[in-house]
Structure 1
Amino acid sequence: MMKQLTLSKKILIVLLTSIGFTILFSFFFIHYLYSELYLNSIEESIIYQGKRTASHYHYGKLNDEIIEKIQWYNIVSEYEVIVVDNLEELSSYFPYKINYETLVDEQDRAQLEKGAYVTKRGHVEELNRDILGAIFPIKGASGLIGFIYIYVPLAAIQDVFRESIPLLIIVGSLFFFILFLVVNQAWRSLFRPLQDLQKLSYEVSQGNYSNRIETERDDEVGQLTKAFNTMSLSLEQQEERKKEFTSNIVHELRTPLTYISGYTHALKEKIYSSPEEAASYLQTIEKETERLNKLIYDLADLNHLQQDLYSLEWQPIAVAQLLYDTLDLFKIHLSDKHLKLSSHVEEELIISGDPKRLQQVFYNTIDNAIKYSVQGGTIFIELQEEAENAVFQVTNEGTFIDDEDIRRIGERFFRTDKARNRTTGGTGLGLSIVKEIVRVHGGSFHIVSDSERGTTVTIRLPYIQTDEEGVS
């Protein structure tokens, strides 16, 4: 049943239970004061007075004068005092039963014969009160000469605390009033933001990520609210990126499929004027098919890297030679755009990694720099050691990239050429793959752009990486 209750109801039950236990504790505490303090003090006083009175008559006689003195004490004392020669007379002066039992039983007689006192406590029906008393033996020269019975009717617990009850009621009422104000404030302070969070979570579950909860609190609830706002913002951004991703992949697929479909139809219907034109159609179909294959391969490759499903083939790499081999692949591209290549390479650098993957890093970054370089510009390439890292930098004199676009470089399908020029733009996955390869090698990827100096991509890879440190 508790599982079906809301959090507020559970806390209310806990609160009411706590108040109930507080009241119960107060009752037992008052009862303790009554039984342990009030009754014990009465009993100690009776025993003290009884022993003191009985001790005055040791080895004497219980004559009329002594009895008169004791009776006079009875008048001035708050206790009832009875003096008798023998226990049989005691019943005529105190003809009541205590707890429905005789005042003195055989065990009491034996105790008194030994010279010890006995205490008697219980309810007397005729008096409608509890009494507390004690019987003390009086010793004479030849043995016991009499008995003193001192008793006092006990006040009820409400009588004992009669003067304290109004104060207890006032203090208790004030306590519960203050407790009510505190609980009410805490209730509103705790559950109102939780209710707002509940509403917002429902909206988020329905796909609405735009709403936020305003809060200035720094406690746990405030931190939870801020975390939820951050989560909503993150989900909203992810939703926008997902829509953009879907739009991008549709765009990337639509164009080559349109070409393939159109030219296939033209070839099927023989809508061409010469064999050369038909050959160009086939060449275009082949080119767009390769483009589709590359798109699918890059997506699968990126997915494997991001989910750590790709197994790297670690080995020592002469990274300078790997860079030179990669640069040889771009001689024609550099020549076509009349680009100059300026390089500074420290040839003794050795790192540990997967050579195929690291060549992919070099290829994608250099290819990207060439594509976005101005005609006749210069490509600057550096490879050097810096703080136990191999630092690879590629700088091109190309289009300036603003800060907002720089933050998004490396996202799937993101390209800085918003027009998506097919002569420059690939699939928009190249730098995404670069960032993931660098990540799995324990390196870092950084990019800056300046309107005067150009755009620089900086990649840092651990200079020396042993098998124990990261070989997979």
Structure 2
Amino acid sequence: MKFFMDSLAKKLWLTITAAIVVTIVYSYFLSYLFYEKLYVENVEKALLEEGNRLALDYEGGPLTNELKDKIDWYSSKSETEIFIVSNPRELSACLPFDIDYETLISGEEREKLLNGLPVQKVGFEERFDRKIMAVVIPLLDENRLEGIIYLYIPLAKISEVTTDFAYLWLIAAIVFLIIAIFLGTMLVKRLTKPLLDMKLAAGRVSKGDYSVKIANESMDEIGQLARAFNQMSLSIQKEDERKKEFLANVSHELRTPISYVKGYSDALHSGIVQQDERNKYLTLIHREAGRMERLVDDLLDLSKLDSDEYKMVKTPLPLAQLIEDALQKYMLIMKKKNVSLHLELDPDIIINGDEGRIEQVLQNIIDNSIRYTDTGTIHLKMFKTIDGCCIEIKDTGIGIPAEDLDKIKQRFFRVNKARTRKDGGTGLGLAIAEKLVNLHGGNLQIDSKLGKGTIVQIHLPVLDI
């Protein structure tokens, strides 16, 4: 059995073979059914009709020699053996095989004869090596059984019935078998080829070759599986490229602060730094260490958000109060940059959210607005929508080029192609913010025009109170 289980092609052949065997067995039993229903019933019907026609010549009274002679003459011309006797017991002398009268006609059957009903009998006869079909027709005169007409004929075996076309059937069966093998081979190959291609392609994908594609245009389940495989291969390729890019970005982000820390610390360790410059070098080392710390924290946040195990502690939150509290830390820096803040908050909006994570989202977006706005205005508005609520943060900063809007939420993406860190963070803030908003059942939208400012909308579901 293991031999058939290690290959789909073998399973298909086993299924086809089983179907053919079942068909042959079914045809065999069906042929016997037709034999019984058609041939035997037709013989019985013919005997009854023949016996009833002969019985029409009986005019009543004792059986005459003239009637007996007529029946004997008819029997000599017919394929059916026909006897006419006055008493059923006389049949034992007429029939060419031994017969028991009690077996021939039972008491119940005799009652049928007395009621004018014919009796049909089928039994195996060793002399003929086959079954015998017999019909007994009563000859009545005023409810008296004056005699019977006994007709019998050996039933042909089914092999004899099919003799004429047995050879033709055998030839046709061989031709059918050859055609079935040929077409079955083509069918099995056609069905299994895409699966074999997928097996080989999966091996190549597992080795890192994502360019492989399954060419299958069929609309059946195998074609759908092939298209799903191609989509999976493309997704894995994109994910692999994203991971490589992610690692390259992490390495790039860490390389500069590490080089600063190493360079400044080497200078301090070697003693080449003058005493009055030591504090300056220590400040630079502290700044770069803080940048690395923020990057590591952001990476840990992303790792947690990407895993299914990340859980948030959601509670009912008055969103207006949360926004006002989050803005307090930015008042001093906005004053230094000459940035004015305008608030329009609906105090009745309550959401079901994680307070710390919602505050983190607000901080990431407000940080960007302040960082890229000098001597301008930040307008923060919160209002109800059909599907929940919207937090809109609009600034009059430098804006984002149109070609960068689709990429702005990607990890490590910076609009500043020079990748300087004095005017930017880790490049992960918006990616983290979008993840957190999505986990709260909302979405994050960004619209901007270069030189005119940026609008960020945070859409969140609300609690119905």
TM-score (norm 2): 0.82
Q: Distance in 2 between matches of 1:277 and 1:371?
A: 29
Residues 1:419 and 1:367: Cα distance change in structure 2 (over 3 Å): same
> 392-401 vs 14-23, which deviates more?
392-401
Provide the residue aligned with 1:277 in structure 2: 277
Query: Equivalences for 1:255-270 in 2 at 5 Å?
Result: 255-270=256-271
Match of 1:334 among 337, 360, 367: 337
Question: Which residue pairs with 1:363 in the alignment?
Answer: 363
Deviation at 1:239, TM superposition (A): 0.5
Amino acid at match of 1:291: R
Distance in structure 1 (CA, Å) of the matches to 2:450 and 2:282: 42
Q: What is the SS of the residue equivalent to 1:318?
A: helix
The C-alpha deviation readout for 1:236-271, integer Å capped at 9, x for no partner, is 111111111122222333333333333333333333
User: What is the match of residue 405 of structure 2?
Assistant: 406
What CA RMSD, in Å, does the superposition of the two structures yield over aligned residues?
Answer: 3.6
* Alignment check: 8 A CA contact 2:372 2:398 kept: yes
Corresponding residue SS for 2:300? helix
1:381 matched residue in structure 2: 379
Distance 1:450 1:182, change over 3 A: farther
**Residue aligning to 1:73:** 74
> Counterparts of 2:6 and 2:78 in 1: how far apart (Å)?
63
- SS of 2:349's equivalent in the other structure is strand
- The structural deviation recorded for 1:367 is 2.2
* Counterparts in 2 of 1:301 and 1:144: CA distance versus 1, 3 Å: closer
User: How far apart, CA to CA, are the structure 1 residues paired with 2:176 and 2:32?
Assistant: 21
Which stretch of the first structure deviates more once superposed, 298-307 or 165-174? 165-174
The residue that corresponds to 2:344 in the other structure is 346
In 1, Cα distance between the equivalents of 2:167 and 2:416?
85
For 2:297 and 2:318, locate their aligned partners in 1 and report how far apart those are by CA, in whole Å: 27
Kindly state the Cα deviation for residue 146 of structure 1 after the two structures are TM-superposed: 4.4
Q: How far apart, CA to CA, are the structure 2 residues paired with 1:394 and 1:58?
A: 121
SS at match of 2:100: coil
Count, aligned residues: 452
Q: Which residue of 2 aligns with 1:155?
A: 156
Shift of 1:51: 4.9
Q: CA 1:294–1:69 in 2, change beyond 3 Å: closer, same or farther?
A: same
Change over 3 Å in CA distance of 1:456–1:182 after alignment to 2? farther
* Native 8 Å contact 1:369 1:379 kept in 2: no
One-letter amino acid of the counterpart of residue 447, structure 1? I
* CA-CA distance at 1:35 after TM superposition: 1.0
Matches within 5 A, 1:22-171: 22-51=23-52, 53-54=54-55, 57=58, 60-86=61-87, 89-96=90-97, 102-111=98-107, 114=111, 116=113, 118-136=119-137, 138=139, 146-161=147-162
Q: Does 1:318 align with 2:300?
A: no
Contact between 2:260 and 2:285, CA under 8 Å: does it hold in 1?
yes
Cα deviation 1:436-456 (Å, max 9, x = unaligned) = 232233332112343454443
1:351 aligned partner, one-letter code = I
Q: Give the direction of change, closer, same or farther, for the CA distance of 1:226–1:206 in structure 2 (3 Å limit).
A: same
Counterparts of 2:301 and 2:205 in 1: how far apart (Å)? 32
Distance in 2 (alpha carbons) for counterparts of 1:299 and 1:197: 36
Correspondence 1:205 to 2:179: no
Q: Counterparts of 1:137 and 1:312 in 2: how far apart (Å)?
A: 99
Q: How many Å apart are 1:396 and its aligned residue? A: 4.7
**Map of 1:391 onto structure 2:** 391
The verdict on how the C-alpha distance between 1:20 and 1:63 changes in structure 2, with shifts beyond 3 A counting, is same
| Conserved? CA contact 2:112–2:119, under 8 Å | no
The residue type paired with residue 27 of structure 2 is S
Which sits farther off after the overlay, 119-128 or 225-234?
119-128
Q: Which amino acid aligns with 1:437?
A: L
Deviation at 1:184, TM superposition (A): 5.7
Mark the CA change 1:48 to 1:354 in structure 2 (over 3 Å): closer, same or farther: closer
Change (3 A) 1:113 1:360: closer
Q: What letter corresponds to residue 5 of structure 1 in structure 2?
A: D
Q: 1:438 to 1:322 in 2, by over 3 A?
A: farther
Tell me if the contact between 2:345 and 2:383 (Cα under 8 Å) persists in the aligned partners. no
Q: Which residue of 2 aligns with 1:242?
A: 243
Which consecutive residues of structure 2, in runs of 5 or more, have no partner in the other structure?
A: none
Structure 2 counterpart of 1:295: 295
TM-score (norm 1): 0.81
More deviation, 121-130/75-84: 121-130
1:309 counterpart letter in structure 2: K
Q: Which residue of 1 aligns with 2:449?
A: 450
> For 2:315 and 2:439, how far apart are their aligned partners in 1?
12
Structure 1 alignment gaps of length 5 or more: 97-101, 468-472
State the distance in 2 between where 1:55 and 1:142 align.
Answer: 16
CA 1:166/1:15 → structure 2, altered by over 3 Å: closer, same or farther?
A: same
Please tell me the residue identity of whatever aligns with 2:45.
E
1:87 to 1:348, Cα distance in 2 relative to 1, 3 A: closer
SS at match of 2:135: strand
For 2:315 and 2:336, locate their aligned partners in 1 and report how far apart those are by CA, in whole Å: 30
Shift of 1:68: 0.6
Deviations along 1:258-304, one digit per CA (max 9) or x if unpaired, are 333333333333332x2222222322222222222222222233334
Against the structure 1 CA distance between its residues 14 and 355, is the aligned structure 2 distance closer, same or farther, given a 3 Å change threshold? closer
SS of 1:465's equivalent in the other structure is coil
Equivalent-residue separation in structure 2 for 1:329 and 1:211 (angstroms): 57
Q: Which amino acid aligns with 2:100?
A: V
